[in-house]
Chains A and B, each alone.
Chain A
Amino acid sequence: MRRTRPAVVATALALVLTTACSAPREGTAAAGRPVSGGSLTWAVETEPITFNPHQYAQAKARLLVWNTFEALLTHDTQGGYVPWLSTGHQVSADGRTYTFKLRTDVTFSDGTRFHAEAAKANIDQFSVDGYNPSVRAVQLRNLDRVDVVDPATVVFHLRQPDVLLLDFLSSPQGAQVSPKSLKEAKNLKAGGPDLAGTGPFLLDHYTAGQEVVFTKNPAYNWAPAGAGHTGPAHLDRITYRFLKEPSVRVGALTSGQVQIIEGVPATDEALITANPQLSLSRGLNSGSAYSYYFNTTHAPFDDLRVRQAFREAVDVDAVLTGVYRGSATRAWSVVGPTSPFYDRTLEKTYGGDAAKANRLLDEAGWTARDADGFRTRDGKRLTVRLVQSAPFVRDRRDVLAQAVQAQVKQSAGIDLNVAVVDQGTATQALADGQYEVFDNSRADTDAGAALNLLLHSGGAINRTGFQDPALDELLEQGQAASDQARRKTAYQQVQKLTITDQALILPLYAPADQIAAGTTVGGWGFEPAAGVPASAYDLWLSR
């Protein structure tokens, strides 16, 4: 009996993965055979805060990164690694030495050649003070040094085994930037046309608040094995227009002002599916679920009972039905349901019990009520603040927050204060600890990478402030073990500890991306493993 279990789990996972990843090159059938040339306009929800892949932070901007930059590895549809700018890699028996063979036919768009020295320079760049301290402290924590053996061979030496190195080398932050432009770029951290990569497109220009335009890189000839074609991109030119309003994006598509959009709200899906000239597809993201993280460093969430009460006060199913019209997948764990590490046993173990929420709050001493119906203790209202940074608000998460706000008020008398602010204000509030709830989702292809950032005591976005050597130990086990089953065990314990035992997190939904396009557009789809919209490399326009 015990032996059949992993097989069942593996089959279920394979099913989830294939349904989640079967989307690539969705529009091909509708539009016929790929055509070369033409220019396309794509309306996107999120404006990137940087064009430097090393500074990447927004999952919604990931589709732009791979237009101009590429990494050593990428993913196949099964979630495994395939070579991109490399031709293969070997791991030593002790798991501490990764030897990569690199492609020798790749050129950066500034004319310099890609070779082992360049790969090393990209890693070394993270040692520059203030460049991206969080990558150095988290993703590259176990990296000792990078050695160049010959122009086509580079060796990563680790202090201790770390399987997440491969995830890093396939992520936007591990993308390869021309060392020449790393030295010469005018504004390195913001990126721009002068930051050269090896991708199938060149960044032509960026107009803040409006659009970013890419043109074809005619020299491109090193597509990875899983791509839809080889050689240069089909399109001559692609424009991404930043249209923050969902209804404006849908309107721009239905009126033909743009040919393809991403981020289709559930309320508007019927408009797309009812139109024979348009098609729609959805992909579940990998990484971590969209969740609320409770700040345990001060009152009231330093009290486990209050954290549990907040979670019980929200009827997540009802909220998701209201805001997303049943199109959202509820999350039960911080790990997304498409991840192999997802712990299914957490499902239906908590939440939605208003009576229990009230009992817990009574026990915690929040017994009195003020004139507005909010609970108080010692004359102080039970107020918790959620600060949302505008560039990261997607999928109507501001509306979702208001729905949760109404729920916790009605069911338990908790005052959830929601503010959508600019990035600078949000960063300041988080740095000063002026928040009780932090919202986040990450689209890391390996959920372990997200957990390291979010839950490890040294994590760059450990906004719960929760410190526990046992939790760190589990996370490090998950990072070190090369055996997938051992990783899964470690990460399941992480989930049990943070979700069930400590109630640090209120998981809400599994982030998904939607693409809607006219039937003249082909080659669109989702990135394997990550589940976010793919780059423009395979896109084409008929006629």
Chain B
Amino acid sequence: MTLALPRPVARRFTLRRPRPGLTAAGLVLLVTLAAAAWPSLFAGDPLAADPLRVLEAPSAAHWFGTDQLGRDVFDRVVHGARHSLSIGVAATVIAVGAGILLGVVAGLVHRVADEALSRGFDALAAFPLVLLALLFIAIAGTGTTSLIVAIGIATTPHHARVVRAQTLVVRQAPYVTHAVAFGASRPRLVLRHVLPNVLGPIPVLAMIGLGEAVLIAAGLSFLGLGPQPPSPEWGAMLSEGRGYLHIAWWASLLPGAAVTATVISLTVIGRHVQHRFEGRPS
């Protein structure tokens, strides 16, 4: 998810046209956020099982049908929003925080140390994200916390590289060289002059990174490495329902649709924010 190439200027004329894609993405995200914030407002108990009503097709009573234990799939998808989003947000916070720290350090320190850090980022970035996360989980064990940390660590190098590049640019800026000339102390230089000016692209990166984190979280939960049953996590629901796919598609397909819609929405909005930030229309 590197920064996009400049688009043709002609796109500027579409600026004020209504954009149904963006609107839809915004709506999906609003609904997801509302579900994550107040799940009980929209849905019943996600753990209430009725063994005599298993794998029932979607109906008025059960909008998304029931799963293999007779739990309401709609209730579970709604409650799952909180699990999936909070894992994504927490992992992104870790990744962005660590990324800023390491990126600024790499951008400011001596060349040898910078080389070492940068090659470290390159080496980590060369691994597929999921593989890195899997490696961490293999060491730390399964569970929600370890899943969050794993995704956070796996996505850190990406943020760190952007911040480092930004730091290098800012370091050469006249106001920084002037501050150095005026004898500003090093902590003051970093906190007052460098940091505020490298943070600009971070919200954009975080937005796009969030979509990615939610996707990886669902993927790892699918493999049974995230929240354990009976937690209503989307990836885990997809996994539990896959054995019944040919007779009850709703038990796995609808949680899968929730993951897809959320991740696409986050990415669409993230891209939009990114283009606005770069002074280009999306």
Contact = CB atoms under 8 A, between A and B. Distances in A.
B52 A247 contact: no
Interface string A341-370: 000000000000000000000000000000
A521 interface: no
A418 B240 CA distance: 15
Of the listed residues A267, A315, A420, the one surrounded by the most CB atoms of chain B closer than 10 A to its CB is: A267
B70 A265 contact: no
Contact of B52 (A271, A322, A410): A322
A542 interface: no
A403 B243 contact: no
B242 interface: yes
B140 to A, nearest CB: 15
A399 B52 contact: no
B51 A318 contact: yes
Given A322-B52, A322-B69, A410-B49, A247 B230 contact: no
A402 B50 CA distance: 12
Nearest to B53: A322
A17 to B, nearest CB: 31
A405 B230 contact: yes
Contacts of B242: 245, 247
Interface in B54-83: 54-55, 68-71
A245 B70 contact: no
A410 B48 CA distance: 7
Given A247-B243, A247-B245, A315 B51 contact: yes
Interface string A265-290: 10110010000000000000000000
B243 A246 contact: yes
Interface string B10-48: 000000000000000000000000000000000000011
Contacts of A268: 246-247
B136 interface: no
A267 B52 contact: no
B229 A402 contact: yes
B244 interface: yes
A315 B48 CA distance: 15
Interface in B233-254: 240, 242-247
A419 interface: yes
B228 A403 contact: no
A406 B243 contact: no
A267 B230 contact: no
A323 B229 contact: no
B228 A406 contact: no
A471 interface: no
A403 B52 contact: no
Contacts of A271: 246
B51 A407 contact: yes
A467 interface: no
B24 to A, nearest CB: 33
A406 B230 contact: yes
B52 A406 contact: no
A426 to B, nearest CB: 15
Contacts of A247: 242-246
Contact of A403 (B48, B49, B245): B49
B221 to A, nearest CB: 15
Given A245-B243, A403-B69, A267 B228 contact: no
B202 to A, nearest CB: 37
Nearest to A401: B229
A327 interface: no
B48 A267 contact: no
Contact of A399 (B68, B224, B228, B247): B68
Interface string B211-238: 0000000000000100011100000000
Contacts of A419: 228
A321 interface: yes
Given A402-B69, A406-B230, A418-B229, A323 B243 contact: no
Given A247-B242, A247-B243, A322-B70, A402 B51 contact: no
Interface residues of A, number: 25
Given A247-B242, A267-B244, A418-B229, A403 B51 contact: yes
B226 to A, nearest CB: 14
Contacts of B230: 402, 405-406
A96 B225 CA distance: 54
A209 to B, nearest CB: 15
Nearest to A396: B243
Interface string A315-351: 1001101110000000000000000000000000000
B51 A267 contact: no
Contacts of A385: none
Contacts of B245: 247
From A268, A318, A402, A419, name the one whose CB has the most chain B CB atoms within 10 angstroms. A402
A7 B233 CA distance: 57
B68 A409 contact: no
B244 A407 contact: no
A265 B245 CA distance: 13
B180 to A, nearest CB: 56
B49 A407 contact: yes
Contacts of B246: 247, 268, 271
A104 to B, nearest CB: 51
B125 to A, nearest CB: 30
A403 B229 CA distance: 11
Contacts of A319: 51
Contact of A323 (B48, B51, B247): B51
A294 to B, nearest CB: 22
Q: Which of A265, A321, A322, A405 has the most B CB atoms < 10 Å from its CB?
A: A322
A304 B98 CA distance: 53
B51 A321 contact: yes
A420 B71 CA distance: 21
Nearest to A254: B246
Given A267-B247, A271-B246, A406 B69 contact: yes
A271 B52 CA distance: 22
Contacts of A315: 51
B144 to A, nearest CB: 14
Contacts of A407: 49, 51
Max chain A CB contacts within 10 Å: which of B48, B50, B51, B224? Answer: B51
Closest A-B pairs by Cβ, 8 of them: A322-B51, A406-B49, A318-B51, A322-B54, A247-B243, A319-B51, A403-B69, A402-B229
Given A247-B244, A267-B55, A323-B54, 17 more contacts: A247-B242, A247-B245, A247-B246, A265-B243, A267-B247, A271-B246, A315-B51, A318-B51, A322-B54, A323-B51, A323-B68, A396-B243, A399-B68, A402-B229, A403-B69, A406-B47, A406-B69
7 contacts: A265-B243, A321-B52, A322-B50, A406-B49, A407-B49, A410-B48, A410-B49
Interface of B: 47-52, 54-55, 68-71, 224, 228-230, 240, 242-247
